[in-house]
Every structure is written in C-alpha cells, then in structure tokens.
Homo-oligomer: A and B are copies of this chain.
Amino acid sequence: MRKANQIFQGAVDAFAEKGFDRATMDEVAERAGVAKGTLYYHFVGKEELICFLMEEGIGQLSSAVAEAVAQTDDPQGQVRAAIGAMVAYSNENRKFCQLLVKCIWSNAERQEQFREILQSYFDRLTGILNHGIHRGVFQPQPMEWAPSAWFGLVTIVILRVILQGQATDQERLVDYLYTQYMYGIIGRDIKTPN
C-alpha cells in the first residue's frame, strides 16, 4: 500500500504539470520514487491510473462537500458551506485541483470514463440547489445547466488562483464566490430582503 500511495502522489504531480498525455510513465515513476515496472504492478496501465486518480479525487471532493453541507439545513448556508469546502479542498490539494480542471474534458474517450464520476458530483450540487428551490429560497432554474454553472464559476476562479501561485485569503475568496453565485454582479444589498 505504501507504494500505491507513492504512485498516486507522483501521478498527481506529473499529470498536473504536464497533462495526462504529455506526462510519461517514466516521469510518474520518478516522482513517485518507484521503478517503472512497479507502476504496472499496481495499475493495469496509464489510462487505468488516470481513472483511479480522478475517481479518488472527485470522490474526496464530493465527500468534503457532502460533509460540509450536512452541518446545516439552511439553503444559503449549504451553498456557502459547499463553496467553502470546495475552496478548502482546492487549497489542500492544489495539484489535484489543477489536474481536475485542466484535464477533465481533455479527450472524448476519457470523457466517457469520467462521466459517471463527475455526474455523481453534479448530482450532489443539484441536490443542494433543489433543496433551496423546494424551500422557496432559490429561484426555479433549468436544472440541466445549473450545476455546470456553479461548477464552472467556482472551478475556473479557483484554477486562476492556483495558477497565479500566490497565497490567497481563503475567507475572502469564499465570500466572493458565494456572493457572486448567490446574488450575481448586481450584488447582495439590492436584493437580500431578509
């Protein structure tokens, strides 16, 4: 198990920097500190390693979001908690988040393999929104687009932050993303009646 974990880390490192296709198995092995053959002892091949990575990572992210959301029943509080969890996760797993955003749509074939994993994450986001709509707090929305919008908004900003490389005030970032997503660019004071 030791080695398998080393490989996981090495793979995230290598893939995040070079992308799935340009990172070689040699590089993965080197960053993982194992011999190339060992990669194939633990994983069937490169594509399987990539799949494992994505499943594992998105699963973790999804769990983190679920856990955060479970703390409150208030729809707005849930959205804030979810965004908070996303930002926190991305901060602790910069490499993986880079990888996630950069490579998730890289290629039509892999697309197919990730769809299921990603769908479960989107379903979670959809659930949160539906809860708020059901409560009458959020407006009814076209649900075929809503999770993508949320995902895109949060994810691309986070990627920007990661790529910039400089330290960021997490609190402020969550605040911005939450406000933007909840109230748009027009802003809170115009419309939060509560």
On A, residues with C-beta under 8 Å from B are 17-19, 21-22, 76, 79, 101-103, 105-108, 111, 129, 132, 137-139, 141-142, 144-146, 148-149, 151-157, 159-161, 163-164, 172-173, 176-177, 179-192
CB-based contact B148/A157 at 8 Å: yes
Contacting pair B21 A145 (CB below 8 A) = no
Taken together as a complex, chains A and B put the C-alpha atoms of A192 and B184 apart, in Å, by: 11
Assuming A105-B102, A111-B163, A148-B157, is B191 touching A183 (CB within 8 A)? yes
Q: Do B149 and A177 touch (CB < 8 A)?
A: yes
Which chain B residues lie closer than 8 Å to A151 at the CB level? 156
Cα of A79 to Cα of B164 in the assembled complex, Å: 26
Q: How far is the CB of A193 from chain B (nearest CB, A)?
A: 9
Q: Complex Cα distance A107/B107, Å?
A: 14
Residues of chain B contacted by A18 (CB below 8 angstroms): 107-108
**A152 CA to B18 CA, complexed, in Å:** 22
What are 10 A-B pairs with beta-carbon distances under 8 A?
A: A101-B105, A132-B185, A138-B187, A149-B176, A152-B156, A155-B156, A179-B184, A181-B185, A183-B186, A186-B190
B149 engages A153 (CB within 8 Å): yes
Chain B residues with Cβ under 8 A from A142's Cβ? 172, 176
